[in-house]
Structure 1
Amino acid sequence: MKLHHVAGNTYYINYPSVVGVYKFDDDSCLLIDSGASPSFGTKTLKILDQMDLSVHGIINTHFHSDHSGGNAVIQEQTNCPIYASPVDKMFIENPLLSPFSVYSAYPLEPLKNKFVMNPYSKVTDVVEDGKILIKNKEFKIIELTGHTMGQIGIVTPDDVFFTGDAIISKHSLRKFPFLYMADLDSYLNTIEKLKNTNYPYVVVSHEGLLEDWREALEENERCIETIIQIILQNTGTPKSRETIIQEVINNLDLPINTSQYFLISASVSAYISYLHSKKMLKSVIEDKQVRFYR
């Protein structure tokens, strides 16, 4: 594993969840996300050590464990600051909130795993939309909410835009044709915001440097429309949320385990909320169930 050069002092490590690296003049660096688990954090430290680089800090695009899983081990070994949005700070510092939020209560034991529940780390600095200085270098923070309520993108001084999970590559969508969602309305606004950007380099978390990112964004839109149509086509008569969730899973032939089921369930709920807010779905109580219909 090595550092992939993008431009200037900006690099990334091409894990399944990319770790961005911005190198400062004193051979310290800022990490953008930290990998999917403590083992990726340890691996990152070894790679950086081989390059004679030390960790100055970590900035998380969002709290999901495949992006913050290496935070704890890196912070423990380097005492580095961690930057995150106000909302995602709460999840990073309170790991139980992640499985709690997808299960809607104290979570089942199978949900308390490294894919859903990130290890605790301390967010020392809260960042919001705008410009920040780190070691006298200017980074841009761009709000990219929707996938989580507090997701951010980071633009390095070299105009390299790390978009977190705001853009999922066409390759990833072919393998898994579903978009995890917290707030669909916010994500649709994020898509429009991304369309109006023109950074020369875009790095997405599950692919790396992406030249065809605008095409990928269009594919993200098509994926959303497919999911919406599945929901609408199956609500000609009132259906429970659980029935709608199952229709989405079946129609897209999504692979299922306990974690996937509840992550998909929470996301489909976000699609239902959006459609309900836009008056495209109505709700009714039938047979002591909340059901949704067109």
Structure 2
Amino acid sequence: MLPQEREVTLCGVTFGLVRTPGHTVDHICVRTPDNVLYVGDAMMTGRVLHRAKFPYAFSMKVYLESLAKLRQESADRFIVAHRGVYREILPFIDLELRFLTQRMEDLLTLVGESTTPKELTEAICRTYQVRTKNPRHLAYFEQASQTYLHYLTDRGDLELVMAEDQLRYRRVNRRRERLTLPPTGRFR
């Protein structure tokens, strides 16, 4: 499958493709001939979203762009990988956008004058009451938070510096624009 392809035919049946990278580099949504859109991991809903604490994305900027793209898609039904078949997904997209925005705002408050990624992971675990003895779980939070930190750095809200032979984040003291969301409640 090539990046420019908008459909694929399998066993004589043609399926539409909607590229929604962000969670993964090459994520796609698949539209069936009867207009059902399999969204996969392009978005999360309800309890799954809140349990994730920091949903993983390889690029937060691209992930947010894909959520905005999904807002424009219509279908008779939407199937979300982790939970559910829905007639409408706009409320869930809006919920996820608010959730991600809040996580980034929270991260900004956790970054002090000079905070290492490990210190930030400890602060995340304290703030969100993550209690684990599994090093893989702890590594996940450190890795997942990096995507958010890179996005905030690219926006100019944070700065990545070297101090004492360690990478450190610090907030940029400037009047920053608040993270914004698309309008909510616009149902098709």
TM-score range, shorter chain: 0.7 to 0.9
**Distance in 1 (alpha carbons) for counterparts of 2:51 and 2:148:** 21
Residues 8, 15 of structure 2: 8 Å contact kept: yes
| 1:170 aligned partner | 46
Q: Which runs of 5+ in 2 are unaligned?
A: 172-188
Give the structure-1-normalised TM-score: 0.54
Instruction: Give the CA deviation at 1:150.
Output: 1.3
Shift, 1:133, TM fit: 1.3
**What is the rounded CA distance, in whole Å, between the counterparts of 1:157 and 1:142 in structure 2?**
14
User: Are residue 139 (structure 1) and residue 39 (structure 2) matched?
Assistant: no
How many residues are aligned here?
169
Q: For residue 98 of structure 2, what is the aligned residue in structure 1?
A: 222
Greater radius of gyration (CA): 1
Tell me the residue number matched to 1:272. Answer: 149
Deviations 1:118-162 (A, max 9, x none): xxxxxxxx3545111112211111111111111111111111111
Q: Indicate yes or no: 2:121 matched with 1:235.
A: no
Contact kept, 8 Å, 1:176 with 1:254, in 2: the verdict is no
The TM-score normalised by the length of structure 2 is 0.82
Bigger relative contact order, structure 1 or 2 (CA pairs below 8 A, ≥6 apart): 2
Aligned to 1:107: none
What SS does the aligned partner of 1:225 have? helix
**Percent identity of the aligned residues?**
20
Structure 1 CA distance, aligned partners of 2:24 and 2:131? 22
Cα offset, 1:212, TM superposition: 4.7
Return the alpha-carbon distance in structure 1 between the equivalents of residues 61 and 50 of structure 2.
24
- Cα RMSD of the aligned pairs, angstroms, is 1.7
Aligned pairs (5 A) from 1:1-294: 126-128=1-3, 129-256=5-132, 257-294=134-171
- Cα pair 2:78 2:88 within 8 Å, conserved: no
Q: Secondary structure at the match of 2:122?
A: helix
CA distance 1:175–1:292, change in 2 (3 Å): closer
